Amino acid sequence: MRLDIITIFPEYFDVLDISLLGKARRAGLLDVHVHDLREWTHDRHRTVDDTPYGGGPGMVMKPEPWGEALDTLVPPQDADRPDPREPGSAHEPRPSGAAPSGKDSMAGDGATADAPPPDTAAAAASGSADSPGSPAGTSPPSQEAEASPSARVPRLIIPTPSGRPFTQADAVRYAAEPWLMFACGRYEGIDSRVAEEARTRMPVDEVSLGDFVLAGGEVAVLVMVEAIGRLLPGVLGNADSIADDSFAPGAMESLLEGPVYTKPPVWRGRAVPDVLLSGHHGAIARWRRDEALRRTARTRPELLKRLSPEKLDDRDRAV
């Protein structure tokens, strides 16, 4: 999967070099490109914000740098055609081997009007699957993405407290896409025309991480990238653990995961529940479900209403 992240704080994404996602990048499972929005400004101060029309506090991100960034990374000549993912649209995929941006070979030119920005150190150090000879971070989406018509344009994800809630179901859906692009807003947000115009040439989702306000989209993107990245085939050591996740689609859908334990069997006088040591898989599964139901009822009772009655057995109802 290819990820492009546009931000005024590329350093935020240095952490994508470590832990699970760092490993996934080095294994070529995740191809991350971080872009500094200021590379698409043309004034001495590299201005990305301005005062809001209509008055009010704070600043709004100017549309021009965003427009140029998106044009560079998703060239309009490709993007103007209808999105292949929309039902009823017929078009040919880009010939394999073609880069998503015809200007990519100019990466590294610096902050000129037309050149895409050089990718950040985070991307360059990623060990991503750039083809030999191409500048770091300028490779097209992965082979798999190229082979798929849906790789022609990315899905653009814009984190904002005004978006619809991001859920595990979104993470699952996004993990199946070959190319995602994230736009990190700051201040009071990005001029609304940016999403509006982008929507004419690529799918755009405005999503919120919850009913609170962050200082910008960077942390929200890190959260989403981790939620998505861990679902990619080969990223987690034990793929079965995904099925046990809270909110995971399937048997445990709409349930929070219950308590977990490891050795020693007794710690500070507290024993691990006997059933977990019994080796009786049926009894263990039942106990886990009971605990998940209890925990959900206690901390997120509204989630229980989402459980469809046919997914509940008599024992569930008794818990």
Which listed range, 47-55, 131-139, 147-155, 204-212, lies at the site for ligand ADE (CB under 6 A)? 204-212
The alpha-helical segments, DSSP class H, found in the chain are 19-26, 63-73, 76-79, 121-124, 143-147, 168-175, 192-198, 217-229, 240-244, 274-277, 281-299, 301-304, 314-318
* Residue number, 3 or 220, with CB nearest to ligand ADE: 220
* Residue number, 53 or 212, with CB nearest to ligand ADE: 212
Residue 160 contacts ligand ADE per CB under 6 A = yes
Residue of the chain from 208, 253, 257, 300 that contacts ligand ADE (CB under 6 A): 208
User: Helix 19-26 vs helix 217-229: angle between axes, to the nearest 10 degrees?
Assistant: 70
241, 246, 250, 255: CA torsion to nearest 10: 140
Residue 171 contacts ligand ADE per CB under 6 A = no
Residue 303 contacts ligand ADE per CB under 6 A = no
209 is in an annotated binding site: yes
182 is in an annotated binding site: no
Assess contact for 177 and 166: CB atoms under 8 A: no
CA distance linking residue 248 with residue 268, whole number of Å: 33
Residue of the chain from 159, 178, 229, 258 that contacts ligand ADE (CB under 6 A): 159
Residue 156 contacts ligand ADE per CB under 6 A = no
210 is in an annotated binding site: yes
Which listed range, 80-88, 112-120, 209-217, 277-285, lies at the site for ligand ADE (CB under 6 A)? 209-217
Which listed range, 41-49, 58-66, 95-103, 206-214, lies at the site for ligand ADE (CB under 6 A)? 206-214
CA distances (Å), 201 to each of 79, 82, 205, 289, in order? 5, 7, 13, 45
185 is in an annotated binding site: yes
* Residue number, 41 or 160, with CB nearest to ligand ADE: 160
Residue 73 backbone dihedrals phi, psi, to 5 degrees: -80, -25
Joined together, the tokens standing for residue 166 give 């991001």
Residue 222 contacts ligand ADE per CB under 6 A = no
Paired sense of beta strands 49-50 and 60-61, if any: antiparallel
Question: Under the rule (CB under 6 A), what is the footprint of ligand ADE?
Answer: 159-161, 208-210, 212-214, 217, 220
Binding-site annotation: residue ranges for S-adenosyl-L-methionine: 185, 209-214
